Structure 1
């Protein structure tokens, strides 16, 4: 931090000729989802103001509140919103079609970009996630995916090994329940609109998909039904009370408090989990167990920063995006458990040294490398601009299974025409 502050005091003309203080005195409004990245960044925002003279006004919300508030502002065409967090795999085509993103292409190629920024330092896949057609809509701030967390101490006490495949999850959960009734065997998301992310690996590893051989959207495939059934039955039989109201916040809280033995939850919450007493000693981290035939196709995504298409301060906002996704900031965040989107930082000595300092960190980094190499960002029916609606349908199917209102096959096959209609 001292180095960053010292650099900030160097006159702008001395910093490789790029004028970081061009927008001194302006104010940029940020809206952020309250993720681990956000929690780490909030303590560093003053560094940006010191460097640029640009003041920041920040609003932070939990994920469901964030989506509701963001949609309201974007639909209303508010010019008060300048920078916001976006999940490209969920909303990029929709937001671009509605004009809610500013086009970053000209900013990237113009004088407003620091020559040291190096856009190509982001991996190709992460750059592509923020491109719709010919438009660059956002910059990636992290790389993440659901990971399998389990309690090594509880498994050892019960004489159990990590499940070798998905088919062993239920049997393992049953043995954990019998061995130690004080701990919940399994926890995962059940809230509508949120289950697709951790469910995707269950579907793919079970041999399923979200489209058929002809490319039509469907949930009525044998492997897909199998994955949905396993996900729902685990929560129904071995999950915590009120699971259909849980998103990542509740799942991570349960893990952090030592009340859950297994989960498939975001790698992005690793740093939050490790801050709780005892978790760095007893939590183990890996990729979701494969299917019985060895199939492993995990989910891997990224959050990004975008500028509102209605912002009146797009160049000043662009300065914030450059700083927040720059090498120095990413290197600092990486050493606090935020997986960097820049290749140079991810492969850098500092990040590797940090990861080598403890067993869970090393396991986390190894798992991230695996999902980055083998994963997919598609974890719902491929509906482009209507992805949120597709996720609601998928969530409804899973909730029916969790609540015992319907079996997986009947619930999934009943919505085949509905999900395909979203794609037509």
Structure 2
């Protein structure tokens, strides 16, 4: 669909933004180098034209972004006017007074259109501290052509035993065809995002009700052993360097028979402009083992304004523009309807153009709405969060454990040694933080 720039500009002006041109400002936005944010950066030139403001972009790899933003927000150095943060950070930083409230973007913003569980996850004591840019759960993407050729039928929700079987049958390393691609890059939001769900469905948990770490229990050992075994036998080379973006490239270039990861990938692997296998992709739910509880994650990438900014009104203007209904339509009109940011607004899923272009839309929405951070595990836990634990200490804890498991994946230590080291370190951290009495 071809749309004239003048029409596109008029479609997103309805925010009273032009009034700010007399007081133009430069703002700095830090964001992650994911595809949806790259589109936001590209289209932001229209907001700059409308308002006269200018944006300096700081676009970073996920682990680097988290480290930089955490340091900046905690030290109040004020380098950024807008931050892209996750559903983990938003309530913790909001509660700490590090973020500005986001309840005042105007009646025309239509807060009621935001998906309720996502909005609730960004709210503390009735106050909203970030607004969602896109939201995801996790699911299983697979190559239907390879499955058909092998005579395999993917069930509606596979088990991990079935995933092992399929991966063995579909691996052909001589053709650079790997049965399964999974995150191996260490980080609480990289390999531990996937592994958190795998441990959950194997019946494990991070902590018991007394906050004692459970990292050497049988479910953890079984889940991590299976993960390491799967990747060594059926995964691509260099797996310890592969995060979300790297696996997306592998899958889109035809190297992976299966990939278990974020639902937000669907728009890109189904896009023939970005994917060599766009017409060969199918999807199903995340695999399960002992329990379905916590088998697929719940995550949102959000725009937030740090309390340190001196350009709050300009920052709010951009945030409102980039998370609006009209922005969603703008992406559809310029980048293709399959590429619009998913999982934030009810109205997105009512768009006929999106329903037609995105066969995965309903499945993704159901996955997002069904993930329950308040009941993430088979056994009771004192925390919320599916693939993370919603406490400030988890960023350090999750990253340390991710590094240990990455070392096991690289063959530098055994799974048992990695989990024993993790158990000792996490116990020490939780004791120092006075969770363990």
- Conservation of the 8 A alpha-carbon contact between 1:151 and 1:261: yes
Distance of aligned partners of 1:292 and 1:178 in 2 relative to their CA distance in 1, 3 Å threshold? farther
Confirm or deny that 1:62 pairs with 2:69. Answer: no
Unaligned residue ranges in structure 1 (runs of 5+): 10-14
CA–CA separation in structure 1 for the residues paired with 2:97 and 2:250: 39
Residue 298 of structure 2 is matched in structure 1 by 300
Residue 405 of structure 2 is matched in structure 1 by 398
Residue 130 of structure 1 is matched in structure 2 by 122
Confirm or deny that 1:202 pairs with 2:204. Answer: no
Query: In the TM superposition, what are the counterparts of 1:268-287 in structure 2 within 5 Å?
Result: 268-273=264-269, 274=271, 275-287=273-285
Q: Using the TM superposition, give the Cα deviation of residue 206 of structure 1 relative to its aligned residue in structure 2, in angstroms.
A: 1.7
TM-score (norm 1): 0.85
> Which secondary structure does the structure 1 equivalent of 2:339 belong to?
coil
Query: In the TM superposition, what are the counterparts of 1:107-146 in structure 2 within 5 Å?
Result: 108=104, 113-133=105-125, 135-146=127-138
> Which secondary structure does the structure 1 equivalent of 2:179 belong to?
strand
Distance of aligned partners of 1:80 and 1:179 in 2 relative to their CA distance in 1, 3 Å threshold? closer
Residue 250 of structure 1 is matched in structure 2 by 246
Confirm or deny that 1:221 pairs with 2:223. Answer: no
Distance of aligned partners of 1:213 and 1:222 in 2 relative to their CA distance in 1, 3 Å threshold? farther
CA deviations over 1:193-230 (Å, ceiling 9, x no partner): 01121223212222222222545443233333322222
TM-score (norm 2): 0.82
Residue 288 of structure 2 is matched in structure 1 by 290
Task: Return the match for 2:426 from 406, 419, 422.
Answer: 419
Confirm or deny that 1:372 pairs with 2:369. Answer: yes
Q: Using the TM superposition, give the Cα deviation of residue 176 of structure 1 relative to its aligned residue in structure 2, in angstroms.
A: 1.8
Distance of aligned partners of 1:375 and 1:88 in 2 relative to their CA distance in 1, 3 Å threshold? same
Deviates more, 1:124-133 or 1:62-71: 62-71
> Which secondary structure does the structure 1 equivalent of 2:165 belong to?
helix
Q: Using the TM superposition, give the Cα deviation of residue 152 of structure 1 relative to its aligned residue in structure 2, in angstroms.
A: 1.3
Q: Using the TM superposition, give the Cα deviation of residue 417 of structure 1 relative to its aligned residue in structure 2, in angstroms.
A: 4.5
Q: Using the TM superposition, give the Cα deviation of residue 43 of structure 1 relative to its aligned residue in structure 2, in angstroms.
A: 2.6
CA–CA separation in structure 2 for the residues paired with 1:295 and 1:124: 20
- Conservation of the 8 A alpha-carbon contact between 1:286 and 1:364: no
Q: Using the TM superposition, give the Cα deviation of residue 262 of structure 1 relative to its aligned residue in structure 2, in angstroms.
A: 1.3
Q: Using the TM superposition, give the Cα deviation of residue 98 of structure 1 relative to its aligned residue in structure 2, in angstroms.
A: 6.0
Q: Using the TM superposition, give the Cα deviation of residue 40 of structure 1 relative to its aligned residue in structure 2, in angstroms.
A: 1.7
CA–CA separation in structure 2 for the residues paired with 1:293 and 1:79: 44
Q: Using the TM superposition, give the Cα deviation of residue 122 of structure 1 relative to its aligned residue in structure 2, in angstroms.
A: 1.3
Distance of aligned partners of 1:333 and 1:340 in 2 relative to their CA distance in 1, 3 Å threshold? farther
- Conservation of the 8 A alpha-carbon contact between 1:77 and 1:310: yes
Unaligned residue ranges in structure 2 (runs of 5+): 374-383
Figure out how many residues of one structure are paired with residues of the other and give that number. 405
Residue 83 of structure 2 is matched in structure 1 by 84
CA–CA separation in structure 2 for the residues paired with 1:58 and 1:38: 11
Q: Using the TM superposition, give the Cα deviation of residue 144 of structure 1 relative to its aligned residue in structure 2, in angstroms.
A: 0.6
CA–CA separation in structure 2 for the residues paired with 1:403 and 1:146: 25
Query: In the TM superposition, what are the counterparts of 1:1-400 in structure 2 within 5 Å?
Result: 2-6=6-10, 19-24=16-21, 25-74=24-73, 77-89=76-88, 91-92=89-90, 95-96=93-94, 99-105=97-103, 108=104, 113-133=105-125, 135-162=127-154, 164-177=158-171, 182-193=176-187, 194-273=190-269, 274=271, 275-291=273-289, 297-333=295-331, 335-350=337-352, 353-357=353-357, 361-363=358-360, 365-376=362-373, 378-380=385-387, 382=389, 384-400=391-407
- Conservation of the 8 A alpha-carbon contact between 1:82 and 1:317: yes
The 4+ residue runs of structure 1 with deviation greater than 6 A are none
Aligned alpha-carbon RMSD (Å):
2.9
CA deviations over 1:236-259 (Å, ceiling 9, x no partner): 221112111211121111111111
Q: Using the TM superposition, give the Cα deviation of residue 389 of structure 1 relative to its aligned residue in structure 2, in angstroms.
A: 0.8
Q: Using the TM superposition, give the Cα deviation of residue 157 of structure 1 relative to its aligned residue in structure 2, in angstroms.
A: 2.0
Q: Using the TM superposition, give the Cα deviation of residue 116 of structure 1 relative to its aligned residue in structure 2, in angstroms.
A: 0.7
